[in-house]
């Protein structure tokens, strides 16, 4: 793949449970609002229909209350802002989740 005219960015994924909170606010909402207030380029929240994490507790939409579903927050930002601004914040607020980072190329 040729990288001409493509912008390098980071895709940060935060895997949490819908029931996770920070300061009594749903964690996914807290992260999304923080990103907006700190001029992060973009963020999207996805609700999973099933999944499990390090606790090996299966979460499925048809077996569990709706507030116990897996959530993924995807955030796109320039590499330096991820390292300097976003990661310190996420490490502080995400207690029981997983944070991953990938290099991506923005086409448009």
pLDDT in the model for residue 29: 98
pLDDT in the model for residue 1: 54
pLDDT in the model for residue 52: 75
Does the pTM of the predicted model rise above 0.75?
Answer: yes
Kindly state the average pLDDT of the residues 49-72.
70
Q: What is the CA radius of gyration of the chain?
A: 15
Contact 63, 30 (CB under 8 A): no
pLDDT band at 76 (very low <50, low <70, confident <90, very high): very high
CB atoms within 10 A of CB 83: 13
Contact 79, 39 (CB under 8 A): no
What does the mean pLDDT of the chain come to? 89
pLDDT band at 91 (very low <50, low <70, confident <90, very high): very high
pLDDT digits (tens, 9 = 90+) for 12-57: 999 999 999 999 999 999 999 999 999 999 999 999 877 777 766 7
Question: Which structural domains are found in the chain, ordered by start?
Answer: 7-106 (3.30.70.120)
Inter-CA distances, 31 with 21, 56, 104, Å: 10, 25, 21
């Amino acid at each position: 793949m040729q990288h001409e005219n493509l912008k390098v960015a980071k895709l940060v994924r935060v895997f949490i449970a819908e029931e996770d909170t920070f300061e009594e606010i749903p964690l996914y909402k807290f992260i999304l609002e923080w990103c907006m207030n700190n001029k992060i380029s973009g963020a999207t929240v996805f609700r999973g229909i099933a999944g499990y994490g390090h606790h090996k507790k299966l979460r499925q939409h048809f077996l569990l209350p709706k507030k116990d579903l897996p959530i993924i927050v995807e955030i796109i930002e320039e590499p330096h802002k991820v390292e300097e601004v976003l990661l310190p914040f996420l490490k502080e607020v995400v207690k029981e989740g997983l944070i991953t980072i990938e290099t991506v190329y923005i086409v448009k």
